Amino acid sequence: MPKKIFLTFVLFLFIGLSYSCQKESQDEIDQKDIEKYISDHNIDATKHASGVYYKIIKQGGSSHPNVNSRINVDYKGTLLDGTDFDSGKKVSLELGRTIIGWQIGIPLIGEGGEILLIIPSRLGYGTTAQGSVPKNSVMVFEVKLHFVS
């Protein structure tokens, strides 16, 4: 009888390990979703080493922000399904207090620049829901950078 129990345990362990090895990571899910979004919307985006996708709409001037900068922006945030979740005009904030995706993407443009950012969930809110943004959500931002200080 103990041999039967042991063999049953080994069988269930093998099945469980096989299933867990086949499960996609959140990064893989985000990557597929982002690639589909880019394809469906015919966006000529560049992939940053971090995983953020971006399209520079307007490069802007020579003054670029860093994480210690105070910036003034217009922005609109949507989910991949087109749901608007946030927007603002002439919003002043410290770049270092924003999501990592913004800290990576916004410095790619200068004052007066505009950028489209497609941010994987781990560089946004990750596994935490924020307001109307569900956990593990890829976010799309249209951002216009007015000034940097």
Q: What is the CATH number of the domain that holds 69?
A: 3.10.50.40
Q: What is the pLDDT of residue 58?
A: 98
In a domain, 15, yes or no: no
Domain for residue 5, yes or no?
no
Identify whether 19 is part of a domain. Answer: no
Are 108 and 50 spatial neighbours (Cβ–Cβ below 8 Å)? Answer: no
Asked whether residue 19 carries a pLDDT value surpassing 80, the answer given is no
- Would you say residue 13 lies in a domain? no
Spatial neighbors of 27 by CB under 8 A, at least 6 apart, are 51, 120, 122
- Would you say residue 99 lies in a domain? yes
Asked whether residue 46 is domain-assigned, the answer is yes
Average pLDDT over residues 80-109: 98
CB 141 within 8 A of CB 76: yes
Q: What is the pLDDT of residue 4?
A: 55
Give residue 5's pLDDT band: very low, low, confident or very high (50, 70, 90). low
At residue 13, the pLDDT reads: 45
Distance spanning both ends of the chain, measured CA to CA: 75
Lowest pLDDT segment from 14-28, 63-77, 104-118: 14-28
Q: Which domain holds residue 58?
A: 25-148
Give yes or no for a contact between 115 and 55, defined as CB atoms under 8 angstroms apart. Answer: yes
Residue 10 has pLDDT above 50, yes or no: no
8 pLDDT tier (thresholds 50, 70, 90): very low
CA-CA distance, 30 to 81, in Å (whole number)? 13
Inform me whether the pLDDT recorded for 2 exceeds 90.
no
134 in the Ramachandran plot: left (φ > 0), alpha (ψ -120 to 50) or beta? Answer: beta
Average pLDDT, the chain: 90
pLDDT of residue 22: 57
Does the pLDDT of residue 57 top 90, yes or no?
Answer: yes
Domain count, the chain: 1
Residue 48 lies in a domain: yes
* Predicted structure pTM score: 0.85
Does residue 56 form part of some domain? yes
